[in-house]
Amino acid sequence: MAQRDYYEILEVTRTVSGDEIKKSYRKLAVKYHPDKNPGDHTAEEKFKEIGSAYEVLSDAEKRAAYDRFGHAAFAQGGGARGGGAGGGMHDPFDIFREVFGANGGGGGGGIFEQFFGGAQAAQPQSRDGKQRGSDLRYDMQIRLEEAAFGCDKEIEVSKLEGCADCQGSGAEKGAHAVSCRDCGGRGQVINSRGFFQVSQTCARCRGSGMVIDRPCRKCNGEGRTEAPTRIKLKIPAGIEDGSRLRSMRNGEAGLRGGPPGDLYVVIHIKEHEVFEREDSNLFCEVPVSFSIATLGGEQQVPTLEGQAQLKVPAGTQSGTAFKLRGKGIPALNSGTRGDLIVRLIVEVPTKLNADQRAKLAEFAGLMGEENSPLNRSFLEKAKDFFS
Ligand SMILES: [Zn+2]
Ligand SMILES: [Zn+2]
Which residues have CB less than 5 Å away from ligand 2 (the ion)? 180, 182-183, 202, 204-205
Regarding whether 84 and 153 lie in a shared domain, the answer is no
Closest CA to 137 of 42, 21, 247: 247
CATH classification at residue 57: 1.10.287.110
Query: Coil, helix or strand for 190?
Result: strand
Q: How far is the CA of 248 from the centre of ligand 2 (A)?
A: 32
pLDDT at 76 over 60: no
**Inside any domain, residue 342:** yes
Mean pLDDT value across the chain: 82
Q: How far is the CA of 181 from the centre of ligand 2 (A)?
A: 6
> Which residues does 320 contact at the CB level (< 8 Å), separation at least 6?
343, 344
Regarding whether 132 and 238 lie in a shared domain, the answer is yes
What pTM value is reported for the model? 0.58
pLDDT at 342 over 60: yes
Regarding whether 145 and 119 lie in a shared domain, the answer is no
How many whole angstroms separate alpha carbon 139 and alpha carbon 215? 35
Ligand located closest to 183 CA: 2
How many whole angstroms separate alpha carbon 320 and alpha carbon 233? 41
Q: How far is the CA of 182 from the centre of ligand 2 (A)?
A: 5
How many whole angstroms separate alpha carbon 173 and alpha carbon 188? 28
Q: What's the pLDDT tens digit per position in 115-158?
A: 222 223 334 455 567 889 999 989 999 999 999 999 999 999 99
Looking from the CA of 16 toward its CB, the CA atoms found within 13 Å total 18
Q: How far is the CA of 348 from the centre of ligand 2 (A)?
A: 81
* 294, containing H or E segment: helix 290-295
Which domain, by its residues, includes 378?
A: 276-386
**Inside any domain, residue 362:** yes
How many whole angstroms separate alpha carbon 104 and alpha carbon 93? 19
Average pLDDT over residues 21-44: 86
Give whole-number Cα distances, 307 to 1, 162, 300, 301, in Å: 55, 50, 6, 6
Q: How far is the CA of 130 from the centre of ligand 1 (A)?
A: 14
Query: Coil, helix or strand for 298?
Result: strand
Closest CA to 240 of 263, 220, 267: 267
Structural domain count, the chain? 3
The pLDDT, as a whole number, for residue 297 is: 97
Q: How far is the CA of 210 from the centre of ligand 2 (A)?
A: 7
Regarding whether 115 and 4 lie in a shared domain, the answer is yes
